[in-house]
Structure 1
Amino acid sequence: MKSPRRYTVLAATAVAAALALTACSSNGKGSGDATSSAPAGDQKVTITVAGLLPTADDAAKKQLADRVASFQAKYPNITVKPEDYNWLASTFTAQLAGGTLPNVFEIPLTDGKTLIENHQLADIDKYVKALPYGDQFNEKLIANGTGDDGHIYAVPAKSIYAVALHYNRNLFKDAGLDPDKPPTTWDEVRADAKQIHDKTGKAGYATMALDNSGGWQLAAGANSRGGVIEKFDGTKYTATLDDPAVKEHLQWLHDLKWEDKSLLDRTDLGWGEINTEFAAGNLAMYTSGSDVYNALVQANGVTKDWGYGLTAIPTSNGGGALTGGTMAAVTKDSTDAQKDAAVKWIDWWYLAKLQDKDQAIADAKGLAEQNPPQAVGTPVLPIFSKENYQQSQEWIKDYINVPLDDMKGYTDVMFTQNLVPEASASVQDLYAQLFPVVQAVISDKNADIDKLLKDANAAGQSAIDSAK
């Protein structure tokens, strides 16, 4: 989901194949000079745009300000006003209905289809297709922002991720474990978590349990074990929150908490809260989107020499890594001039750096030269093609400042691991039913997992049925 998480966590739908990376390849055109088919011309226009997390540091704010200034130098008739932005399932619907979102806003990948069907996004088709790379998006990703009419209403913009295992290399060392050999099975995660707790007194593992983030990560655990929280038979969506793999992962969390005492004793960890605890050195491992390092640097002060490690989420029984991402969309009440300006900004802020060497270098240089430096080169799954992604990484190689050597457990498999799309129907409602179950299991040793899941599944199916 937007990782129900924070600023823009996401979600992905039929991204499984998406990230089999069969997208169209780049034709090499730069995007910095992209113009839409309905230019604003001499008309002055002002747009508000999703900016940074409210907790972003001064360096990140300066980098955004510099990019806004360079954009306005290129398009002097467009005034851009960034606003702090933090996508939350609990507030987004009210913001959308109340008209308080910026002209350019971010949504989870899987929410695109629903918002389009509800006529809540602006049609930006002609502006996007006028971009030099308008026909080069990964087809499985752009499908999430395309309506039944074939028009584009949102575009994949950033953080196309797979859920991965993040770990503290220093705590591994302190516990006598080899940080270059992170766990590859859930049994190994449990054993390492217990050893870390026993040797260091720190929590070996933590899980999100607050709001939809908790449901999102329970689903990720179930997906990795070969389960799903929703099935589709071609005509009907069926909630499967009581899937055996969901129960298996809940039991695993229960045992970490009540038998091993290695689970961080908090039931109020959302996406941002767990990042804060991790950055403070209070836990050794947790799962989240593979792109989380960016936020740890931007909002939590993590540096390259901090001791961060990234590896693939353990999988079994044909399971895979839950995928997600962020799409950029435009408010429905935007004028034509604002839509045109909005797509120009989406090109400038999110996408040009993936298609144009000069833009890529300028963006990377700006991030790397901030004080403190911002993350450059964090592994993400490609919005266009694998080849395009590898080319853009080559362009910015002189500025990459993330600990790639300590991310090999993930990067070695990122293009070959099995990827699982998020549920398509009422996904946020399903997460909302699951997170109280997570909270119950880690706060009550005698929680009845079967009953909790049975009740959650009934409520989840009701949400799916009522959304028709």
Structure 2
Amino acid sequence: MSTRSLRSGIVLLAVGAVALAGCASSAAPQPAATYDPDAEVTISVDGMPAADQPEQLKAFNDRVDKFEAEYPNITIEGSENGWNTSTFAAQLAGGTLPTTVAVPYTEIANIIRNGQAADITDYLDDQSLEVDQLNPALLTIAQDDDGRTYGVPKEAYSMTVFYNRDLYEQAGLDPETPPTTWDEVRENAEKITKATGVAGFSIPTTANHGGWMLTAMSYGMGSTLEDLDGKKVTATVDNDATAEALQLISDMQWKDGTFAKNFLLKYEEVAAEFAAGKVAQFVGMGSSYTFNQFVRVNGMDSDAIGMGVLPQTKDGLGTLGGGAIQIISPKATPNQIAAALKWISFTTFNQYFHEDVAVTGAKAAAAAGNVIGAPSTPIVSDEVYDQYLGWIGDYINIDRDHFQSFFDERDAQPVLPEPKVAAQQIYATLDAAIQSVLTDENADIDAILKDAQSQAESLIASEG
């Protein structure tokens, strides 16, 4: 079975990110000053669970204890503060942002441009990180047009279609054959609803998650929502592909009766509906996070989960990709930058390079009820990831054969980046667009997109 990463597609994603990073003058490089790897140093790190999550907090503290035992000169202070679009700049200016924090791919170009992340290029020969064995295209996402590096990949995903294998069987559909076109998605939804009474399709429509999914559907139907021409970013929200996606949603709601009636939901809530067998198909992140939402959080039998590449029309461009980049505060001292990279390596990458760490982590994750071996986009090289899967083979608790079609097709599907300017704000306008067509049978899609285009143009202009 193939476990290759998204070679061709991720390269496209990376190129898009790098191109935009060069759309404005990047922050001046911050060459590494001399640092002392044995110096006493304290850093703050994101990801500390709140006190009302005692099990997760204990696991976090245990990890801190192990790290500090290995690096006794480094003191870790956990922080509940993490990425927040509205507070990031203020936290950075006020000194409350952790030394290291994960940020979305959508934000990294602007963060680099605005000088809001430390230039870590000259620290990356630290052997604890083993950078040469990371997925090289993902590492490129955090670089500017001069090749300077401002972060390392923490996680990656691409949008896929999830479907309930049990409901497929009940409707006479082959669970080994995911839909590859939007016509098939619609046809399968009709068959499932007719045979089982279950909603054949859904996507979230709130918390900016609807716009996020509509963007992915637009890619699959032939258009992006922003165009980059040299150094100019132009909104392209009002396009035929997005209109086609909204029309499909409208038709499934009003003509077919197959769209979920409970639709004012965010991503995790739609995942819960899917896990409960109330939704047969939906667009979602192909990631361990989503699989754990299904299985660990909502108790779904993993054997019922099907996943295929994002369906396409004849004009489809590919799928949407994203994830998180771990950056380091530009206010960090050289010793803190070096220490933060050790923390990043310890918490994110050690499992891929050390068999004992991989096995220990997989054993603990399995005991906690997590899905082990779920299909996802590796942040390390193909060879390293294959080796990792071999190490943890005894703890893989999902049948990867169920996703053979996905493994066979994913390398051939291009992966494109999310909108790079005002993405979340544009997603919010598209939440409203989806809600409009789901609540009004006579919604004017052309007018809706014209209004969304105007809003997107203003949002991009406000970003400079």
Bin the TM-score by the shorter chain.
0.7 to 0.9
- Residue number in structure 2 paired with 1:189: 185
Q: How many angstroms does 1:15 deviate by?
A: 4.1
- State how far apart, in whole Å, the 1-side matches of 2:340 and 2:92 are: 17
SS at match of 2:211: helix
Worse overlay, 350-359 or 85-94: 85-94
The answer for the alignment partner of 1:355 in structure 2 is 353
8 A Cα contact 1:104 1:328, kept in partner: yes
How far 1:135 sits from its partner (Å)? 4.2
Retained in 1: the 8 A contact 2:250–2:437?
yes
Q: Give secondary structure in 2 for the equivalent of 1:408.
A: helix
Structure-2 residue corresponding to 1:79: 75
User: Could you give the per-residue CA deviations for residues 323-376 of structure 1, whole angstroms, max 9, x where no partner exists?
Assistant: 1111111233344443332211110111222233333333223322xx343222
Relative to the length of structure 2, the TM-score reads 0.84
User: Percent same amino acid among aligned pairs?
Assistant: 36
Residue 200, structure 1, aligned to residue 203, structure 2: no
| Aligned 8 A contact 2:48 2:80 in 1 | yes
Following superposition, the deviation at residue 234 of structure 1 comes to 1.9
TM-score (norm 1): 0.83
Q: 1:328 to 1:354 in 2, by over 3 A?
A: same
Q: 1:466 to 1:458 in 2, by over 3 A?
A: same
Q: 1:314 aligns with which of 307, 311, 320?
A: 311
> Are residue 154 (structure 1) and residue 122 (structure 2) matched?
no
What's the CA shift for 1:413? 1.8
2: CA distance, partners of 1:17 / 1:49: 25
Contact kept, 8 Å, 2:51 with 2:57, in 1: the verdict is: no
The runs of 5 or more residues in structure 1 that have no matched partner are 1-11, 20-35
Q: What are the equivalent positions in structure 2 for 1:92-171 lying under 5 Å apart? A: 99-131=95-127, 133-147=130-144, 150-158=147-155, 160-171=156-167
Asked whether the equivalents of residues 53 and 85 of structure 1 are also in contact (C-alpha less than 8 Å), the reply is no
Deviation at 1:100, TM superposition (A): 4.3
CA distance in 2, matches of 1:192, 1:255: 14
Using the TM superposition, give the Cα deviation of residue 122 of structure 1 relative to its aligned residue in structure 2, in angstroms: 2.9
Match of 1:422 in 2: 418
Counterpart CA distance in 2 for 1:195 and 1:54 is 46
Q: Which amino acid aligns with 1:154?
A: G
Q: Is 1:277 the equivalent of 2:277?
A: no
Q: Distance in 2 between matches of 1:108 and 1:53?
A: 21
**In 1, Cα distance between equivalents of 2:302 and 2:145:** 48
Matched letter for residue 152 of structure 2 = V
Q: Residues 119 and 299 (structure 1 numbering): CA distance in 2 closer, same or farther, change over 3 Å? A: farther
1:91 to partner: Cα distance: 6.1
The 3-state SS of whatever aligns with 1:322 is strand
Matching of residue 49 in structure 1 with residue 46 in structure 2:
yes
Residue in 1 that maps onto 2:362: 364
CA distance in 2, matches of 1:234, 1:62: 49
Q: Distance in 2 between matches of 1:144 and 1:120?
A: 16
Larger CA deviation: 409-418 vs 142-151: 142-151
Equivalents in 2 of 1:434, 1:399: separation in Å?
41
- Cα deviation, 1:174-212, whole Å, max 9, x if unaligned, reads 333332222222111112212222332221111111132
Amino acid at match of 1:133: E
Q: Write the letter of the residue equivalent to 1:439.
A: Q
* Structure 1 residue 44: Cα displacement: 4.7
DSSP 3-state at the match of 1:398: helix
Rate the CA distance shift 1:255–1:86 in 2: closer, same or farther, 3 A: farther
Secondary structure at the counterpart of residue 264 of structure 1: coil
Please, which of 427, 445, 448 is the counterpart of residue 444 of structure 2? 448
Opposite residue 172 of structure 1, the aligned amino acid is Y
Q: Are 1:57 and 1:298, in contact at CA under 8 Å, matched by a contact in 2?
A: no
The aligned residue for residue 326 of structure 2 is 328
Deviation at 1:430, TM superposition (A): 2.5
Aligned partner of 2:5 in structure 1 is: none
2:28 alignment counterpart: none
Q: 1:432 to 1:450 in 2, by over 3 A?
A: same
Q: For the residues of structure 2 that align with 1:95 and 1:198, how far apart are their CA atoms?
A: 52
Equivalent pair of 1:170/1:307 in contact (CA under 8 Å): yes
Matched, 1:466 2:462: yes
Partner of 1:33 in structure 2? none
Distance in 2 of aligned mates of 1:73 and 1:139: 31
Amino acid in the other structure paired with 1:402: I
Structure 2 distance, partners of 1:302, 1:75, is 38
Over 3 Å counting, the alpha-carbon distance change for 1:263 and 1:101 in structure 2 is: farther
- In the alignment, structure 2 segments of 5+ residues that lack a partner are 1-8, 17-32
Shift >6 Å, 4+ stretches: 53-57
Aligned to 1:8: none
Cα pair 2:43 2:336 within 8 Å, conserved: yes
* 2:348 partner letter: Y
Residue 300 (str. 1) matches residue 279 (str. 2):
no
One-letter amino acid of the counterpart of residue 454, structure 1 = K
Give the drift of 1:436: 1.2
Deviation at 1:460, TM superposition (A): 1.0
Deviates more, 1:62-71 or 1:240-249: 62-71
For 2:243, the aligned partner's letter is: K
The residue that corresponds to 1:401 in the other structure is: 397
Q: CA RMSD in A?
A: 3.0
Q: Could you report, residue by residue, the CA deviation over 1:388-414 in whole angstroms, capped at 9, with x for unpaired residues?
A: 322322232222222312222322222
Call closer, same or farther: CA 1:395–1:278 in 2, change over 3 Å: same
CA contact (8 A) 1:297 1:374 kept: no
